[in-house]
């Protein structure tokens, strides 16, 4: 759905997937981190930076606990978190900007 531009529908299914992973996997499993990251970036595409932040923060935390030091996924989560935090600040300040993920 995301590739088709229907980010709301994509978000719905990504949230359902996260609920399934949370039921069947340990809380610090890398699949949960990946799922949280996917949700975060779908929210970013919808311009919902504040809602995206807790998801990407959770991905960073899980990645740091479950993946080897310096793992590319964790590093990507960290980079994404910095960008999302920056976008949140710009939005809070009322500064108009182009969403970097569109």
- Residues 1-30 have pLDDT tens digits of 999 999 999 999 999 999 999 999 999 999
- Residues 30-69 have pLDDT tens digits of 999 999 999 999 999 999 999 999 999 999 999 999 999 9
CA angle 11, 19, 22 (to 5 degrees): 135
Q: What is the pLDDT of residue 97?
A: 81
CA–CA separation, 25 vs 45, rounded Å?
Answer: 27
Report if pTM > 0.85. Answer: yes
| C-alpha distance from residue 22 to each of 4, 15, 44, 98 (Å) | 27, 11, 22, 34
Closest CA to 74 of 82, 84, 66: 66
């Amino acid at each position: 759905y995301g590739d088709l531009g229907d980010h709301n529908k994509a978000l719905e299914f990504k949230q359902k997937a996260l609920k399934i992973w949370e039921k069947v996997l340990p809380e610090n499993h890398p699949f949960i981190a990946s799922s949280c990251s996917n949700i975060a970036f779908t929210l970013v595409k919808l311009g919902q930076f504040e809602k995206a932040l807790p998801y990407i923060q959770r991905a960073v935390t899980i990645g740091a606990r479950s993946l080897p030091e310096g793992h590319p996924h964790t590093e990507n989560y960290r980079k994404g978190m910095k960008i999302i935090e920056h976008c949140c600040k710009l939005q809070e300040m009322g500064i108009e900007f182009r969403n970097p993920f569109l």
